Chains A and B, each alone.
Chain A
Amino acid sequence: AQSVTQLGSHVSVSEGALVLLRCNYSSSVPPYLFWYVQYPNQGLQLLLKYTTGATLVKGINGFEAEFKKSETSFHLTKPSAHMSDAAEYFCAVSVDTGKLIFGQGTTLQVKP
């Protein structure tokens, strides 16, 4: 069965520092992987997704993620954090008819 594990429910960085949010997946078939962001009292917004091809995926707002099959990982990074990046981040894997299985989420705090 497919599953997603996000390591660290809460990550705190200083403004301008590197952001690294960890995601590991379990899948018996080639995975389709997503990162979504959720701002307070809002729905989910797609940051980026991996389907096939290039393993380094660039998304919106300067975020990128690298698919590493050998490590079953899809970590999200951003070189320099902004205050506006403070939000909840969800990693997800797409299975079956396209339903998404989400991780538990990581809250990113950005300190001035």
Chain B
Amino acid sequence: ETGVTQSPTHLIKTRGQQVTLRCSSQSGHNTVSWYQQALGQGPQFIFQYYREEENGRGNFPPRFSGLQFPNYSSELNVNALELDDSALYLCASSGHGQGIGETQYFGPGTRLLVL
């Protein structure tokens, strides 16, 4: 069984640029959630995708957007990067989008640095 994978592992961008982060969900999972973890903080929920539809969104501006593909992999796009976007971005997959008690399995994360 393949776990959650994310790419790239590290990324450096400059303010104002755009970035795309990628996530492959665990085999058999149809739901992907994205979280932002700033240094020294707990992860903050960005949004969730269930069967290619957005299924909930946290308190993040519209310049944070996402996609889920038919194979349930996902992308997180961030436009007009700001210095405060520097963080570890975590992707998590789970089996069912409506599962309030469902376990989410996390990938290793992508560390983004905005200069």
Contact = CB atoms under 8 A, between A and B. Distances in A.
A99 B36 CA distance: 13
Interface of A is mostly: strand
A94 B48 CA distance: 13
B43 A102 contact: yes
Interface in B85-115: 90, 92, 94, 96-109
Interface string B40-66: 111111001010000110100000000
A74 interface: no
Q: How large is the interface on B (under 10, 10 to 19, 20 to 34, 35 or more residues)?
A: 20 to 34
A98 B48 contact: yes
Contacts of A100: 33, 35, 43, 45, 92, 104
Given A42-B108, A98-B48, A105 B41 contact: yes
Nearest to A95: B100
Contact of B42 (A32, A97, A98, A102): A102
Q: Looking at chain A, what size class is its interface with the partner chain?
A: 20 to 34
B23 to A, nearest CB: 11
Contacts of B55: 97
Contact of B109 (A34, A43, A97): A43
A46 interface: yes
Interface in B24-45: 31, 33, 35, 40-45
Interface in A63-112: 90, 92, 94-105
Given A43-B90, A95-B100, A99-B33, A90 B56 contact: no
Nearest to B96: A98
Contacts of B106: 36, 43-45
Interface of A: 4, 32, 34, 36, 42-46, 49, 51-52, 90, 92, 94-105
Given A94-B102, A100-B104, 19 more contacts: A34-B103, A42-B108, A42-B109, A43-B4, A43-B90, A44-B92, A44-B106, A49-B103, A95-B100, A97-B55, A97-B56, A98-B97, A98-B98, A99-B48, A99-B56, A99-B58, A100-B33, A103-B42, A105-B41
